[in-house]
Homo-oligomer: A and B are copies of this chain.
């Protein structure tokens, strides 16, 4: 690859005949007309009467600014799709660009197929206009309701990573990704340009980024529009692209330039793919991209009330605010809209003229109907190995230590092996750290950047690797979202504390899922997004306080019960059972909390399956109530929490003879909620039968204690539930010390149990004294200088 060839402004002979150009221009006029109509009109949708005040919506809402540039791009993409029979998705990155996408979907007929009440006639158009930005109606981003879209754009920054996710393992697909120049300022977008180091031109499709330099955000110029041209070229070249500039505002010239540039870009893409696929040349190519510098609000009113609108930030939303009450401005709007000459574009009934229809691709080639944008349609179930084959032998509970994620790694390895074009593993430079290394036996990491001889020594890099590692949780999450939204399967493993980096992306994906699942029957279910949260708070032996944050679960629990699931498998066999389940589900975000460090194993395979299927249950072998009403319930969720709870039971068994303890472990966190609030919730009856209606419950929890209260506050016995969890206290600690300062350790649990059981109030006193001594001894031990780290591995369950 060389940079020596400078970026080019394409000025070749026009590939567009005049007739085709005029037709395309008409198509664009139709798009712009529809976009403006959506913002303004509640009646007279085809302007068959003179425009009057009461034709306007009473509240004008919507975003005009980026629509014409996006429509312009779509018109030109359509030309290429038809001419070359291309398989193209469009991703609309600029915020609030929906009118452009909606107009295209409507002109392509796809919109009316899905929403027959918005047919291609005058009444349909009127309804289409009215519903836009109307309560309960059509949103001004590309919401899930938008056919042909996998990308909302309500929150900015993820267009490119979604585009890459969509084309991974889709060699025939091209994602044309319109990147807003506002969006381009976000961190996630800024680093996602580097996705091109992970795109393999043999196996994957192509992404064509189109940076839309329309110059302004809501009320500011954009940075990329206000740096020298050569600096922008350098930046995009530095990102690994070959940028082509299409700049101007005169439509005819712009059509010619865009057509020539699109031809060139798709030629280059084809050449890159041919070189890679036929000649085996896998040197990282310099993928083409387009910089479209066009005025914000292009073709809209230039000046309104003495202020500049077209080509300025004032074109961001509604260019003319008061046409219904200001006759002069009514005229401005009418002149503007009539300038598109709707009478040439729509027939008597209000349907697009045949010559326009002829410009749109047909069937599934329509961007608005591309099946990849409704990925569930194309989704193939994973070919799953039997997870039972990966089980670890557990002859006695709490007798052996194993890394749960290392075991999971062997299972994921074979999931990978059986689904080599349908499944990928994602992680930020941590797959090895997270002990999932077994997957490398079947597939190394994708790497299209340079390699060195030293990489042979454990680098695990390959052009066709299927493990995706980049030090950007944002990019990984974006890739994975794009991958599952187009119907494929994936698994993302990340450090617990830093999953907060993608809180907001998780929120947005959950919102998309909720709408798609509950309200849009035409959207087929897609594979769940599986998040493995590992390197957990309780084992941050040397990473310290910054790495201790188990609060992602609070974010997750705020989302719709229809689309989120949280699992805390206590050991490796449970993790296998949970992972197998999650990989088979659709339309969820599954969050699995499991550590990478060696932990005690409790359940043999059959018990694990039974336990995980129920999601919550009594561990009889650890209980002493023998089925009778217990004196106290010791409950737990999470690996270290479970170990400490068991150790507390052991202490109580030994030192408080006759105490009837029931031991409950929770895998599926939402079992704690009432069944009226969550599909996985337990009925009150079942909850009461597990947790009693009046006995003390000492609950040892992996995360912040309040989350358990949040889930159980409606339960009859709630006031007796005493939760121990992370208290935001920590440093570089031994695991056991960290447990103690946050009081989730065996001693504090045992003290709490004794305090809560009336029968132990007196006879427990000396036990408590002993327990307090233990705490002092252990903390002293931990702090004593020169004594090495006390580990937790000196403890096993004595049956």
- Which residues of A pack against B, CB within 8 Å? 1, 3, 42, 57-59, 61-62, 127, 130, 133-141, 143, 152, 154-157, 182-183, 185-192, 194, 197, 217-223, 226-228, 230-240, 307-308, 311-314, 429-433, 445, 447, 449-452, 454-455, 457-461, 469-475, 497-498, 500-501, 503-504, 507-508, 511, 514-515, 541-547, 549, 551, 554-555, 557-560, 704, 706-707, 709-711, 713, 718-719, 728, 731-734, 737, 782-783, 785-786, 788-790
> Most chain-B Cβ atoms within 10 A of its Cβ — which of A188, A233, A783?
A188
Residues of B close to A731: CB separation below 8 A: 136, 139
Please pick, from B239, B498, B719, B728, the residue contacting A559 in the complex, using a CB distance under 8 A.
Answer: B728
> Most chain-B Cβ atoms within 10 A of its Cβ — which of A130, A152, A732?
A732
Residues of B close to A429: CB separation below 8 A: 182, 217-220
Q: Is the CB of A226 within 8 A of B789?
A: no
Residues of B close to A547: CB separation below 8 A: 154
Shortest CB–CB separation between residue A753 and chain B, in angstroms?
19
Q: Is the CB of B186 within 8 A of A471?
A: yes
> Most chain-B Cβ atoms within 10 A of its Cβ — which of A57, A156, A187?
A187
Closest to A222 in B: B471
Residues of B close to A710: CB separation below 8 A: 706-707, 709-710
Residues of B close to A433: CB separation below 8 A: 218-219
A140-B543, A227-B450 in contact; A457/B307 too (CB < 8 A)? Answer: yes
Closest to A158 in B: B187
Residues of B close to A451: CB separation below 8 A: 221, 226
Q: Is the CB of B449 within 8 A of A130?
A: no
Q: Kindly state the separation between the CA atoms of A602 and B217 in the bound complex, as whole angstroms.
A: 35
Shortest CB–CB separation between residue A229 and chain B, in angstroms?
10
Closest to A314 in B: B458
Shortest CB–CB separation between residue A439 and chain B, in angstroms?
13
Q: Kindly state the separation between the CA atoms of A459 and B220 in the bound complex, as whole angstroms.
A: 7
Closest to A312 in B: B454
Please pick, from B194, B445, B515, B719, the residue contacting A719 in the complex, using a CB distance under 8 A.
Answer: B719
Q: Is the CB of A134 within 8 A of B732?
A: yes
Closest to A448 in B: B226
Q: Is the CB of B230 within 8 A of A239?
A: no
Q: Is the CB of B186 within 8 A of A546?
A: no
A59-B788, A182-B471, A234-B237 in contact; A459/B709 too (CB < 8 A)? Answer: no
Residues of B close to A786: CB separation below 8 A: 42, 130
Closest to A437 in B: B219
Q: Is the CB of B223 within 8 A of A197?
A: yes
Residues of B close to A231: CB separation below 8 A: 1, 3, 237-238, 240
Closest to A723 in B: B713
Shortest CB–CB separation between residue A61 and chain B, in angstroms?
4
Residues of B close to A503: CB separation below 8 A: 500-501, 503-504, 555
Q: Kindly state the separation between the CA atoms of A750 and B544 in the bound complex, as whole angstroms.
A: 49
Shortest CB–CB separation between residue A702 and chain B, in angstroms?
13
Please pick, from B139, B185, B240, B733, the residue contacting A136 in the complex, using a CB distance under 8 A.
Answer: B733
Please pick, from B188, B470, B789, the residue contacting A135 in the complex, using a CB distance under 8 A.
Answer: B789
Shortest CB–CB separation between residue A274 and chain B, in angstroms?
23
Shortest CB–CB separation between residue A712 and chain B, in angstroms?
9
Q: Kindly state the separation between the CA atoms of A451 and B731 in the bound complex, as whole angstroms.
A: 48
Residues of B close to A709: CB separation below 8 A: 709-710, 713
Q: Is the CB of A141 within 8 A of B218?
A: no
Closest to A59 in B: B789
Q: Is the CB of B558 within 8 A of A551?
A: yes
Residues of B close to A431: CB separation below 8 A: 219
Shortest CB–CB separation between residue A21 and chain B, in angstroms?
30
Please pick, from B139, B501, B559, the residue contacting A732 in the complex, using a CB distance under 8 A.
Answer: B139
Q: Kindly state the separation between the CA atoms of A474 and B460 in the bound complex, as whole angstroms.
A: 32
Q: Which 6 A-B pairs have the closest CB atoms?
A: A235-B238, A154-B546, A187-B187, A190-B191, A500-B504, A58-B788
Q: Kindly state the separation between the CA atoms of A219 and B447 in the bound complex, as whole angstroms.
A: 13
Shortest CB–CB separation between residue A166 and chain B, in angstroms?
19
Q: What would 25 A/B residue contacts be, using CB atoms closer than 8 Å?
A: A1-B228, A3-B228, A42-B786, A135-B782, A135-B789, A139-B731, A152-B546, A187-B190, A187-B191, A190-B194, A197-B226, A218-B429, A220-B445, A220-B459, A227-B240, A233-B238, A307-B458, A508-B546, A511-B545, A551-B555, A554-B554, A555-B555, A706-B711, A706-B713, A709-B713
Please pick, from B226, B457, B542, B737, the residue contacting A308 in the complex, using a CB distance under 8 A.
Answer: B457
Residues of B close to A61: CB separation below 8 A: 541-542
Further contacts, 15 of them, CB under 8 A, given A154-B547, A191-B191, A218-B430:
A61-B541, A134-B789, A135-B733, A135-B782, A136-B731, A140-B542, A143-B544, A156-B471, A185-B470, A185-B471, A186-B473, A190-B191, A231-B240, A500-B504, A514-B728
Q: Is the CB of A734 within 8 A of B782?
A: no
Q: Is the CB of A235 within 8 A of B239?
A: yes
Shortest CB–CB separation between residue A626 and chain B, in angstroms?
32
Residues of B close to A555: CB separation below 8 A: 500, 503, 551, 554-555
A227-B450, A429-B218, A555-B551 in contact; A785/B3 too (CB < 8 A)? Answer: no
Closest to A738 in B: B135
Q: Is the CB of B507 within 8 A of A549?
A: yes
Q: Kindly state the separation between the CA atoms of A711 and B554 in the bound complex, as whole angstroms.
A: 14
Q: Kindly state the separation between the CA atoms of A137 and B728 in the bound complex, as whole angstroms.
A: 18
Q: Is the CB of B237 within 8 A of A238?
A: yes
Residues of B close to A455: CB separation below 8 A: 221
Q: Kindly state the separation between the CA atoms of A137 and B239 in the bound complex, as whole angstroms.
A: 42
Q: Is the CB of B197 within 8 A of A191?
A: no
Residues of B close to A307: CB separation below 8 A: 457-458
A3-B231, A713-B718 in contact; A154/B543 too (CB < 8 A)? Answer: yes
Q: Kindly state the separation between the CA atoms of A737 and B134 in the bound complex, as whole angstroms.
A: 12
Q: Kindly state the separation between the CA atoms of A42 and B788 in the bound complex, as whole angstroms.
A: 10
Q: Kindly state the separation between the CA atoms of A186 and B237 in the bound complex, as whole angstroms.
A: 19
Q: Kindly state the separation between the CA atoms of A473 and B559 in the bound complex, as whole angstroms.
A: 23
Shortest CB–CB separation between residue A558 and chain B, in angstroms?
4
> Most chain-B Cβ atoms within 10 A of its Cβ — which of A42, A238, A458?
A238
Residues of B close to A430: CB separation below 8 A: 218-219
